[in-house]
């Protein structure tokens, strides 16, 4: 492992390596860290929309249902391109560099194809490269199984790769370079008045990402909190955001509002045992249940891209076709202690009521209050909730 202050792990997302010009710019940033005397390990995503293009290509050549093992083999090639190109460009800029796949960098994972879970990272070759005066460029998003197969770590898994590598190397922090200058109080593409957050706790950021904020993969924030690893997220052109520390006071402070429009509702008519059997099958297939309720039959809120698979499970188990609504969404207010303040939910329902946007289900946790709404209402609700909880002069007041 590195000594304290000896090295840094940098991660560059897909937009940061989308074309040769951006790869050159990213290599320039890496070179600055390298020339300052630090040991540098870099994790890269696939270039731009490469992953989406590969998924589309796999659908065209497999009749729409690619074998999930073979899909992992295919998708892993996207990051391999980026890593090799970044190493080449670093060499051109006078920084000796070598690229590694996830397996070569010592990543071991198991789990369903496309959703691998890291078991360990043994970065021997990365440490050797850095100790010999080279930059180690590692493919994100992928690992090897115990049998030597390539498995991917879920969408956004390059964030997880970078943080796990930083932990294994003993780095003091991990820096995530992206096209947005940090974490904002809402998606700035949807809410023009969104504010950059200078510092946010691991737990608050984890809640944001779990609820749909496109900051980082939620599992990566969970890993950072477990490792107590400070993260910096930004474009490199501004101050960015530090994700670190924990919230220790009891006062409610809304730090962000979040929308998730990738949700579907499935009504599992005819599935007995209160829906427990079908829920068990969902879990075995890696279909995440975001919320569940009972209104004459079991209701499940799930990710939209798994709707067809979930519906087929219900048909097989009950002999009936379930009712589905692919146009659901969730809007959330995030802040420490949110679920302990009933006035948060009351205020949210009032805002939605003024918009004529019915809330179909309200849920809460220690860090958030969420309402499931129709997809068409999500963005107006997001803007209105941001105005109420973030922009309101003096801030939202709890009793």
The response to whether 5 counts as a known ligand-binding position is: no
Is 189 annotated to bind a ligand? Reply is: yes
Distances (CA, A) of 308 to 64, 201, 248, 322, 328: 12, 37, 43, 10, 15
Distance from C-alpha of 378 to C-alpha of 259, rounded to nearest angstrom: 7
- Which residues are 36's β-sheet partners? none
Residue 214 in marked binding region: yes
Cα torsion 373, 379, 380, 382: sign? positive
Q: Which residues are CB-neighbours of 208 under 8 A, at least 6 positions away?
A: 183, 215, 255, 256, 258, 334
The answer to whether 187 is annotated as binding is: no
Q: Tell me whether residue 218 is exposed, middle or buried, using C-beta atoms within 10 angstroms of its C-beta: 0 to 12, 13 to 18, 19 or more.
A: buried
Alpha carbons 367 and 380: distance in angstroms, whole number: 23
Strands 368-374 and 323-334: antiparallel
12 is in an annotated binding site: yes
Residue 14 known to bind ligand: yes
φ and ψ of 311, to 5 deg? -65, -40
Dig out the tokens for 28 from the structure.
């320039």
**CB-based burial, 281-306: b 16+ in 10 Å, e otherwise:** bbeeeebebbbbbeeebbbbbbebeb
Say if residue 72 carries a ligand binding annotation. Answer: no
Is residue 351 annotated as involved in ligand binding? no
Q: Give CA–CA dist 34/130, Å, rounded.
A: 10
Which helix (H) or strand (E) covers residue 71, if one does?
A: helix 68-92
Residue 215 annotated as part of some ligand binding site: yes
Measured in degrees and rounded to the nearest 5, phi and psi for residue 216 equal -155, 170
Alpha-carbon Rg of the chain, whole angstroms? 22
- Is residue 333 marked as binding? no
Would you say 13 is a known binding-site residue? yes
Q: Residue positions in the annotated binding site for substrate?
A: 51, 79
Q: Residue positions in the annotated binding site?
A: 11-14, 51, 79, 178-179, 189, 214-215
Q: Residue positions in the annotated binding site for ATP?
A: 11-14, 178-179, 189, 214-215
């Amino acid at each position: 492992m590195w000594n304290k202050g000896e090295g840094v792990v940098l991660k560059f997302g897909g937009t940061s390596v989308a074309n040769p010009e951006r790869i050159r710019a990213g290599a320039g940033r890496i070179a600055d860290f390298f020339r300052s005397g630090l040991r540098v390990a870099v994790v890269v995503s696939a270039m731009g929309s490469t992953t989406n293009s590969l998924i589309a290509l796999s659908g065209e050549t497999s009749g729409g249902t690619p074998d999930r093992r073979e899909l992992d083999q295919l998708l892993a090639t996207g990051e391999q391109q980026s890593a090799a190109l970044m190493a080449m460009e670093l060499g051109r800029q006078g920084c000796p560099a070598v690229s590694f796949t996830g397996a070569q960098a010592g990543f071991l994972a198991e789990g369903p194809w496309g959703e691998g879970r890291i078991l360990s990272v043994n970065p021997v070759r990365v440490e050797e490269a850095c100790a010999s005066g080279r930059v180690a460029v590692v493919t994100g998003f992928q690992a090897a199984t115990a049998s030597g197969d390539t498995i991917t770590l879920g969408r956004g898994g390059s964030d997880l790769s970078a943080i796990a590598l930083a932990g294994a190397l003993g780095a003091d922090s991990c820096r995530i370079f992206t096209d947005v200058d940090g974490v904002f109080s809402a998606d700035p593409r949807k809410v023009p008045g969104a504010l950059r957050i200078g510092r946010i706790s691991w737990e608050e950021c984890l809640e944001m990402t779990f609820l749909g904020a496109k900051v980082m993969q939620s599992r990566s924030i969970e890993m950072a909190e477990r490792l107590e690893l400070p993260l910096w997220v930004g474009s490199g052109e501004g101050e960015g955001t530090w994700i670190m520390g924990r919230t220790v006071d009891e006062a409610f402070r809304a730090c962000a509002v979040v929308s998730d429009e990738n949700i579907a509702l499935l009504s599992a008519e005819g599935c007995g045992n209160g829906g427990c059997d079908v829920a068990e099958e969902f879990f075995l297939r890696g279909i995440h249940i975001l919320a569940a309720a009972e209104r004459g039959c079991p209701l499940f809120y799930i990710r939209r891209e798994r709707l067809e698979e979930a519906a087929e499970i219900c048909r097989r188990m009950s002999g009936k076709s379930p009712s589905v609504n692919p146009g659901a969404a969730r809007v959330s207010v995030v802040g420490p202690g949110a679920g302990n303040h009933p006035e948060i939910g009351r205020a949210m329902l009032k805002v939605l009521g003024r918009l004529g946007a019915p809330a179909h289900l309200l849920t809460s946790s220690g860090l958030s209050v969420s309402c499931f709404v129709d997809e068409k209402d999500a963005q107006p609700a997001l803007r209105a909730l941001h105005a109420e909880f973030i922009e309101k002069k003096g801030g939202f007041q709890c009793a």
